[in-house]
């Protein structure tokens, strides 16, 4: 099983800041099968990025994804108030598909 580790666990930031969220995999992940999700309380995860760097439909271009093999990054170029949430990474190239533990982005 591929274990995903996200750091940090929590980030306290202000609107307008740039943020880079990290996800590290215990084994190499094929780039076509790596995604990022945003989750707000009481809601389902919302797909942001798939295939490492492809933005999902309707996702603003302030969100971008990068990385390869075992190191992946979600970057938010300028935090908007609606971006304060929990972010999860996911690999779905090797079964069982796994998620990271999440990074919470909250208000400073």
Query: Which residues lie near another protein (CB under 8 A)?
Result: 1, 32-33, 35, 44-47, 50-51, 54, 56-57, 88, 90, 92, 95-102
Between 13 and 56, name the residue whose CB sits nearer to another protein. 56
How many angstroms separate the CA atoms of 108 and 96, rounded? 36
Cβ 81 to another protein shortest distance, Å: 23
Between 17 and 101, name the residue whose CB sits nearer to another protein. 101
CA distances from 103 to 6, 38, 45, 95 (A): 6, 10, 13, 23
Cβ 32 to another protein shortest distance, Å: 6
Between 17 and 39, name the residue whose CB sits nearer to another protein. 39
Cβ 3 to another protein shortest distance, Å: 12
What does the buried/exposed string (b/e) look like for 44-71 if buried means 16 or more CB atoms within 10 Å of the residue's CB? ebebbbbebbebeeebeeebbbebeeee
């Amino acid at each position: 099983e591929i274990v995903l580790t996200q750091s940090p666990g929590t980030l306290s930031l202000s609107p307008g800041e740039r943020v880079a969220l990290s996800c590290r995999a215990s084994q190499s992940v094929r780039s076509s099968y790596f995604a990022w999700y945003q989750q707000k309380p009481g809601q389902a995860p919302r797909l942001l990025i798939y295939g490492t760097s492809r933005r999902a439909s309707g996702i603003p271009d302030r969100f971008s994804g990068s990385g390869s093999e075992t190191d992946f990054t979600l970057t938010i170029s300028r935090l908007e108030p609606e971006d304060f949430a929990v972010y999860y990474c996911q690999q779905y190239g090797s079964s069982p598909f796994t998620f990271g533990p999440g990074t919470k982005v909250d208000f400073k």
